[in-house]
Amino acid sequence: MKWMPHKKTMLVFMVIFFVLVGMGGVFSSNTTAKDNKEIGPNEIQGKVLSIRTHPFGRGIIEVKSDQTDEVYTFYAGLDTVYEPYRYPALGETIKVHYFNDRGRLQAMLVEILKSLH
């Protein structure tokens, strides 16, 4: 009979844990990304406003969205893939696949859709 209070408290903690985990899934970044009226969750299509590259392949790309006219700043690194294999030029239309890294939008894939050439 001594174990009965411990079993009840363990059950209460498990229920609270699963409720909090469920709420985390409802308020996650993937859920809010679907509501931002872009072309898809964590995908943006727009024109390149500026691109700044640093040594070792890192840089920043600013894109004005075609759908919402909002300006997004993406951080590019060594893991960012460019299709075709080059940096985009100013004014080109690109599609960026990204993820939210603690408030910073990290570009994973940059597809150049309309080239200026």
Q: Are residues 59 and 86 in the same domain?
A: yes
Is there a contact between 53 and 83 (Cβ–Cβ < 8 Å)? no
What is the extent of the structural domain holding 25? 1-35
**Contacts by residues 3-9 (CB-CB < 8 Å, ≥ 24 positions apart):** none
Give the model's pLDDT for residue 24.
Answer: 54
User: What is the tens place of the pLDDT at every residue in 69-92?
Assistant: 999 999 999 999 999 999 999 999
What is the 8-class DSSP label of residue 79? T
Give the model's pLDDT for residue 2.
Answer: 54
User: What is the tens place of the pLDDT at every residue in 17-65?
Assistant: 776 666 555 444 443 344 556 788 899 999 999 999 888 879 999 999 9
Q: Are residues 29 and 49 in the same domain?
A: no
For the whole prediction, is pTM greater than 0.75? no
Q: Are residues 61 and 107 in the same domain?
A: yes
Q: Are residues 22 and 60 in the same domain?
A: no
Q: Are residues 43 and 31 in the same domain?
A: no
Q: Are residues 29 and 65 in the same domain?
A: no
